[in-house]
Amino acid sequence: NAGVTQTPKFQVLKTGQSMTLQCAQDMNHEYMSWYRQDPGMGLRLIHYSVGAGITDQGEVPNGYNVSRSTTEDFPLRLLSAAPSQTSVYFCASSSGLRGPQYFGPGTRLTVT
């Protein structure tokens, strides 16, 4: 099993550009989440999904969109990149709310 995979690993965007961060898992997990981690800080929840077709907002959803058309994939879209979105983005999946979360390797995004 590959677990949770994320692409790309690194990305540089100019202010105003849009892009999609990809996340996929092969563990048949219902729960998937996107977090951002800023230097010296913890993980902040952006959006999450409790199953295909169901998504909801986390703590810091502004500027991001998600969709979940399949169990396996949970892409994160940046609509119009801003320097404040420079961060490391982690995707995670779990079998349930109280199950262990398995994190992908992360995407390091820089917005100039």
Partner 1 sequence: QQPVQSPQAVILREGEDAVINCSSSKALYSVHWYRQKHGEAPVFLMILLKGGEQKGHEKISASFNEKKQQSSLYLTASQLSYSGTYFCGTELGAGNMLTFGGGTRLMVKP
* Interacting residues with partner 1 (CB under 8 A): 33, 35, 40-45, 48, 58-59, 90, 97-106
Write out the two tokens for 69.
């058309």
Which of residues 5 and 17 has its CB atom nearest to partner 1 in the complex?
Answer: 5
Question: Could you tell me if 65 and 75 are in contact, meaning their C-beta atoms sit under 8 angstroms apart?
Answer: no
Which of residues 32 and 78 has its CB atom nearest to partner 1 in the complex?
Answer: 32
SS3 content of the chain, % helix, strand, coil (to 5): 5, 50, 45
Q: Tokens 């849009």 belong to which residue?
A: 18
Q: Which amino acid is at 104?
A: G
Which of residues 18 and 62 has its CB atom nearest to partner 1 in the complex?
Answer: 62
What is the nearest approach in angstroms of partner 1 to the Cβ of residue 106? 6
Question: Could you tell me if 24 and 43 are in contact, meaning their C-beta atoms sit under 8 angstroms apart?
Answer: no
Report the distance separating Cα 108 and Cα 19, nearest Å.
13
What is the nearest approach in angstroms of partner 1 to the Cβ of residue 46? 11
Which of residues 46 and 81 has its CB atom nearest to partner 1 in the complex?
Answer: 46
What is the nearest approach in angstroms of partner 1 to the Cβ of residue 12? 18
What is the nearest approach in angstroms of partner 1 to the Cβ of residue 112? 22
